[in-house]
Amino acid sequence: MKTVLTGITTTGSPHLGNYVGAIKPAIAKSQSKDFNSYFFLADLHALIKCWEPEKIAQSTKEIAATWLALGLDTEKAMFYRQSDIQEIPELTWLLTCMCSKGLMNRSHAYKALAAENIESGAKDPDKGITMGLFSYPVLMTADILMFNANEVPVGKDQTQHLEMARDIAARFNHHFGNHFDMPQTIVAEDQAVLPGLDGRKMSKSYNNTIPLWLPEKKLRKHIMKIKTNLLEPGEPKDPDDSFVFDIYKAFATKEQTQIFKQAFADGIAWGAAKQELFELINKELSAPREKYNELMQQPELIEQELLKGAVKAREFSVPFMQELKKSVGIRPIS
Ligand code: TRP
C-alpha cells in the first residue's frame, strides 16, 4: 500500500485551478484501494507569506469546507490541519539540523526574491526575507516525511522542494538509520494546469483566478471575461490556441471535447462557446456548491472533522516521532 500526501497553503479562496489541478485528482486517488491518503491544510506555511490573521482563518475554513463539499471520504483519507500535528514542527527542527544552508541558498524561490531585491537597488539582497520563507522547504519536507509519503502530487513550481526533501531524508537516513522512504514527485499533467482569465497559469499570485464557489450568475460573468481573440462568429477557431477550450477540456469527457472541437471548426461564436463552458462547469459544481454553503454555515462540523483527522494522523506521527527522537539520541535516561 502506498501513501499519497499533499497540502494546500491556506492563504486564499479556492479557485478552479486548485480544483482541477489538485483537489479533484487527489480525491479520485483517495478512493483507490492501493493508497493511503493524507491531505492537509498547510496553515503553518501560510504564515510565511501572510500576516493577516483573519485571512488565514477564513482561508483555512474555506479550503477545509471545499474538500468536504467535494466528497472527500474522511473515514478513509486522513484530513487534517498541519498545525494540529505538533510532531511536524518538532520534526522540522531535527531536519533543519540535517539541512545544509547551501541547499536552501539554491532554492529557486529564494533566489528569485534576492534577485528582485538586487534589481530594485536594495542594499541587502535579503531585504524582507524572513527565516520562515528561507527555510520553508524544510517545513515542507517535515510534512512529507512525517507520514513517510511515497507520492506527492504538486505543481511544477514545487519540484525543487521535493528534490530537497529527498536530499534531507537521505542525509538523515545516512546518519541515524533508515527511517524515511524517498518521496516521489507527481507533477500534474499539462491538462491539469488550468489557464487563468489572462491565459497564464491560474494562480492567486497572478490575480487571474475564477473562484470555485461563485454563485451561478457570477461564475457566468467570470467565464465571459476569459481572454479570446477577435475572430467573428462563423470564422473557424483553433482549439489549440484557446483558453476557453483548455478549460473546457479539463471538465469534459472525451466525447464532449470532440464535439466542442468540431464546434470550433464550424466557427462557434466566442459568447456561445463561453456559455457552453459555463454550463459544463456549473453542472459539475452545483451540487457540491450547496453542500459547501451548508458547511460554511456550520463551522463546528468542519472543526469536528479536522480534529478527528488530527487524532487519526497522530496515531502514526506520535510513535514515529518517538522513534526518530530516539534515533538521534533524545531518549529517556537509562
Ligand atoms: N508548498 C506547497 C505549495 O505552495 C504546499 C505544501 C506545503 C505542500 N506542504 C506540502 C505540498 C507538502 C505537498 C506536500 O503548493
pLDDT at 190: 65
State in Å: Cα 146 to ligand 1 middle: 14
Kindly list the structural domains of the chain, giving each domain's residue range(s) and its CATH number in brackets, ordered by start: 2-193+299-328 (3.40.50.620), 213-294 (1.10.240.10)
Cβ of 141 closer than 6 Å to ligand 1, yes or no, is: no
pLDDT at 253: 95
Cβ of 140 closer than 6 Å to ligand 1, yes or no, is: yes
Cβ of 29 closer than 6 Å to ligand 1, yes or no, is: no
pLDDT at 205: 83
User: CB atoms < 10 A from the CB of 262, how many?
Assistant: 11
pLDDT at 191: 62
Which residue among 9, 108, 148 is best mutated to probe the pocket of ligand 1, counting the most ligand atoms within 8 A of its Cβ? 9
State in Å: Cα 8 to ligand 1 middle: 6
State in Å: Cα 6 to ligand 1 middle: 6
pTM of the model: 0.94
Q: Whose alpha carbon is nearest atom 14 of ligand 1?
A: 6
pLDDT tens per residue across span 54-100: 999 999 999 999 999 999 999 999 999 999 999 999 999 999 999 99
Cβ of 154 closer than 6 Å to ligand 1, yes or no, is: yes
Please identify, by atom number, the ligand 1 atom nearest to the C-alpha of residue 153.
13
Please identify, by atom number, the ligand 1 atom nearest to the C-alpha of residue 143.
12
Cβ of 208 closer than 6 Å to ligand 1, yes or no, is: no
Q: What is the mean pLDDT of the chain?
A: 96
pLDDT tens per residue across span 294-327: 999 999 999 999 999 999 999 999 999 999 999 9
Residue with cell 466542442: 260
pLDDT at 256: 97
Q: For the chain, which ranges sit under pLDDT 50?
A: none
